[in-house]
Amino acid sequence: MAPANIPDNFVKRTPPGDERERLVCEKCDFIHYDNPRIIVGAVCTWEGRYLMCKRAIAPRRGFWTLPAGFMEVGETAADGAAREAWEEARVRLEIDGLLAVYDVLHVGQVQLIYRARLATPDYAAGTESLEVDLYDWDRIPWDELAFPTVRWALQAHRELGDRPLAAPFTNPPDDLGGSPPD
């Protein structure tokens, strides 16, 4: 049986030349590929403080995160991260480069997290944020972070400091699939 958003004439089978079972249209052989979604975001700083957004939407409403969200068709990953920062915190960014790539298998995501500085110290909650604030490292609400990848990205940023970016950080070795939040 096909998922709710797929017509009934789709069945699971392994298409010729493939090694995985896919949803395939019985009438025309169209293959529905179920691929991961790309999340883009940034660790944003201003004078050593970290920009954090308190989520106004599910999942994890009321928990703190970095400005991030789904990449849109027709934009680069960096443009998507800048757009998300504007939508969630009304900030303009100066993106330095790719900080981290995280695999979150249980929700089918690949997260691309950039290192960025705020262009100005001005910020305000967008429609997807209840609050937005700049935090010193020791005042980040660590026990109220929305997702493990937020913690990982903040720690990667701290570890790297102002040194030049190289290969991006990835999932910790003990969590290669990106475990769900507690």
Assess contact for 42 and 68: CB atoms under 8 A. Answer: yes
63: number of Cβ within 10 Å: 18
Q: How confident is the model at residue 11 (pLDDT cuts 50, 70, 90)?
A: very high
Q: Could you tell me the sign of the dihedral formed by the alpha carbons of 78, 59, 176, 173, in that order?
A: positive
The owner of tokens 């100005």 is 120
Helices (H), the chain: 77-89, 148-160
pLDDT single digits (tens) 126-164: 999 999 999 999 999 999 999 999 999 999 999 999 899
Taking 80 as the threshold, does the pLDDT of residue 18 lie above it? yes
Query: Which position has the token pair 């990982």?
Result: 152
User: What percentage of residues in the chain have a pLDDT greater than 90?
Assistant: 85
Beta partners for residue 116, in sequence order? 44, 95
Which domains does the chain carry?
1-33 (2.20.70), 37-160 (3.90.79.10)
Output the pLDDT for position 179.
Answer: 84
pTM: 0.88
What are the pLDDT digits (tens) for 77-96?
A: 999 999 999 999 999 999 99
